[in-house]
Chain A
Amino acid sequence: MSKTFLVVAETRGGSLRQVSYETISAARTAGGTDTAVAAVLLGAGASALANELAQYGADRVYTVEHADLEHYNPQAYFAALHAVVQSAQPDAIFFGHTAIGKDLAPQLAAELGTGQISDVTAIEVDGSGETLFTRPIYAGKALEKKAFTAFPWIVTVRPNNITPLAPNATRTADTEAIAYPEPTLHTIIRDVVRNTSGKIDLSEAKVVISGGRGVRSADGFKPLEELAAVLGGAVGASRGACDAGYCDYALQIGQTGKVVTPELYIAAGISGAIQHVAGMSSSRVIIAINKDPEAPIFKIADYGIVGDLFEVVPLLTEQFKQALQP
């Protein structure tokens, strides 16, 4: 093996996040056959998940366990990761484009004085052997391909876009524990308030149901939440709904806000302003429900229903509930 690529795996609630498997797959594609893919797990109890990472394609797993790593602290996580990087000397480091990856990757890039390609949705190796990274710009209104002009590479991979490798139950990996360097921490994490339990993160959700001004009030999101619960999806919103005070800005999808790429996107009471469309138009299947037959959202939707969301959405919830009953 001539090269080593390192993947920073993430956990949530004690389990590996889906994006970690996707990121291993991304590193494999980018590196080709002569590259060893190592993964790193930071945090208490991390070593227990090493085997699972091996099954999804990691050749080696580095772990750093310390109480400082219980919650994400930029300084503590950087110090731990930097210790792994010094030991592994990777040619590339891959992260999920997540709250942690978005914060940790640029720190490492600055430390190493190297380039970073962020929010990658596809990877290919061209005829001349150059690895090209596709990333959306202007929130998906255009796509650019980028390449590195120097090593090491630093990449963040957008959740939900790269297919993980099929798990192989017989695969195992060497593990290596790296000592936490115990830096002086200036940053203190006083409290972490988890998102309302059971809610699925928008950026990783396979199904997203969004409401716009058409929901008319905060209560108007209730039917959308019920449908989301049946489909195991997340609830999002347009800027209009957020600006009107019907929901929190954390739900906003669009050029300002989150960009999502689920399998199924249901836009309820959303007219389809260019700002919003930029954030969701890469969804695989789009459904629009709107009273106004002239709403621009119908121009990009795979299926459209001209009607009142308060009538249509509960009927859909009923349909799905019956059909998906075990």
Chain B
Amino acid sequence: MNIIVLVKQTFDTEEKIVVEQGTVNEDGVKFVINPYDEYAVEQAIQIRDDAGGKVTVVSVGPERAAEALRTALAMGADEAVLIHDDRIGHDEQAVAAALHAFIAQEQYDIILGGNFSVDNGAGQVAVRLAKMLGIPHTSSITKLDIAAGKAVVHRDAEGDLEVVELPLPALFTAQQGLNEPRYPSLQGIMKAKKKPFRELSLDDLNLDVGAVAARTARTELQLPPARQAGKIISGEPAAQAQELFRLLRTEAKVI
């Protein structure tokens, strides 16, 4: 079973965002594997351990994204590929086109990715990729069973549960609850250093710049207006509840 996992490196979710001159400041920031992609990596390792085969983790991003791929190798992935080229546009169409150029030439049975990235949050790349490869997909899965060339998955659709069956090869995006990602062991970290790690540019992928041009552009970036601490309501619980109700009705006018 050949499994490809799409990995993005993102800010740690506990990081504060600082905007300077129209961009997010990355100085001193801790980067992690996008938490949803971590579920995808874990699932891939479990399937490989069960059915045999190979897990390849692939990322489109800056050079620092190599750290996220190394972490995935330390968790148990077999190979890593970093597609790094400053000419790749900053939008989902461009990233999906770069991934497509690489993956279309690979052998795969399953592609796994995160449901969305916790930084950009657009949730487009994996589904775009499935469409470009012409394979079926299910997004936002919480359970994945593979047997006899087919997958049976549970999909979380706004709290509803859908049970979906589809043939392989297929693409899935991971939702919280799919599994409990493992931590890299010391042994895993040591082993990771010897695993194959490829770096590819547009030239290696035979892609011209037009194919990875962005179709959207950011025109402005700012922090949301800061919220101020409001009123603390004191007194006995019954009086507090009464006063809160009064304020919601007369001052905040939400009731």
| A residues adjacent to B (C-beta < 8 A) | 71-72, 74-75, 78, 98-100, 102-103, 105-107, 109-111, 113-119, 130, 132, 135-150, 186-195, 199, 201-203, 242, 248-250, 252, 254-257, 259, 263-264, 273-275, 278, 281-282, 284-287, 293, 298-308, 311-312, 315-316, 318-320, 323-324
The answer to whether B200 has its CB under 8 Å from any CB of chain A is no
Contact A117–B216 (Cβ < 8 Å)? yes
Contact A306–B163 (Cβ < 8 Å)? no
B35, B131, B140 interface centre (most CB from chain A within 10 Å): B131
Of A78, A114, A302, A323, which one neighbours B215 at CB under 8 angstroms? Answer: A114
Contact A304–B216 (Cβ < 8 Å)? no
Query: In the assembled complex, which residues on chain A have CB atoms less than 8 Å from the CB atom of B247?
Result: 303
Of A136, A146, A286, which one neighbours B227 at CB under 8 angstroms? Answer: A286
| B residues adjacent to A (C-beta < 8 A) | 11, 13-17, 19, 24, 35-36, 91-93, 96, 118-125, 127-132, 136-140, 152, 156-167, 175-177, 214-224, 227, 229-234, 237-238, 240-242, 244-245, 247-249, 252, 254-255
Query: In the assembled complex, which residues on chain B have CB atoms less than 8 Å from the CB atom of A203?
Result: 158
Query: In the assembled complex, which residues on chain B have CB atoms less than 8 Å from the CB atom of A78?
Result: 131
Query: In the assembled complex, which residues on chain B have CB atoms less than 8 Å from the CB atom of A255?
Result: 13, 118
Query: In the assembled complex, which residues on chain A have CB atoms less than 8 Å from the CB atom of B223?
Result: 141-143
Query: In the assembled complex, which residues on chain A have CB atoms less than 8 Å from the CB atom of B165?
Result: 187-188, 190
Contact B160–A323 (Cβ < 8 Å)? no
Contact B11–A138 (Cβ < 8 Å)? yes
Query: In the assembled complex, which residues on chain B have CB atoms less than 8 Å from the CB atom of A202?
Result: 158-159
B16 to chain A, nearest CB (A): 7
Q: Is the interface of B mostly helix, strand, loop or mixed?
A: mixed
A90 to chain B, nearest CB (A): 16
Alpha-carbon gap, A189 to B245, bound state (A): 46
Query: In the assembled complex, which residues on chain B have CB atoms less than 8 Å from the CB atom of A71?
Result: 162
Q: A110-B132, A189-B164 are in contact. Are A323 and B255 (CB under 8 A)?
A: yes
Contact B17–A142 (Cβ < 8 Å)? yes
List the 6 closest pairs (A to B, CB-CB), nearest first.
A115-B215, A315-B241, A110-B131, A302-B230, A195-B159, A118-B122
Q: A257-B176, A304-B231 are in contact. Are A287 and B244 (CB under 8 A)?
A: yes
Of B118, B215, B221, which one neighbours A148 at CB under 8 angstroms? Answer: B215
B167 to chain A, nearest CB (A): 5
Query: In the assembled complex, which residues on chain B have CB atoms less than 8 Å from the CB atom of A132?
Result: 219-220
Contact B248–A264 (Cβ < 8 Å)? yes
B132 to chain A, nearest CB (A): 5
Of B164, B216, B222, B240, which one neighbours A305 at CB under 8 angstroms? Answer: B240
Minimum CB distance partner of B151 in chain A: A187
Minimum CB distance partner of B241 in chain A: A315
Alpha-carbon gap, A293 to B229, bound state (A): 12
B52 to chain A, nearest CB (A): 25
B100 to chain A, nearest CB (A): 9
Contact B119–A74 (Cβ < 8 Å)? no
Q: A106-B128, A186-B167 are in contact. Are A298 and B229 (CB under 8 A)?
A: yes
A105, A106, A312 interface centre (most CB from chain B within 10 Å): A106
Minimum CB distance partner of A231 in chain B: B255
Contact B240–A307 (Cβ < 8 Å)? yes
Contact A320–B160 (Cβ < 8 Å)? no
Of A138, A146, A302, which one neighbours B218 at CB under 8 angstroms? Answer: A146
Q: A106-B131, A195-B160 are in contact. Are A275 and B152 (CB under 8 A)?
A: no
Contact B240–A147 (Cβ < 8 Å)? no
Q: A143-B222, A149-B215 are in contact. Are A188 and B124 (CB under 8 A)?
A: no
Contact A319–B156 (Cβ < 8 Å)? no
Of A150, A199, A254, A302, which one neighbours B252 at CB under 8 angstroms? Answer: A302
* Known contacts A132-B220, A146-B218, A299-B227, then 14 further A-B pairs from the complex at CB < 8 Å, ordered by chain A residue: A99-B158, A107-B128, A107-B130, A110-B93, A115-B92, A130-B219, A147-B216, A201-B158, A256-B36, A256-B176, A257-B176, A264-B252, A274-B14, A303-B233
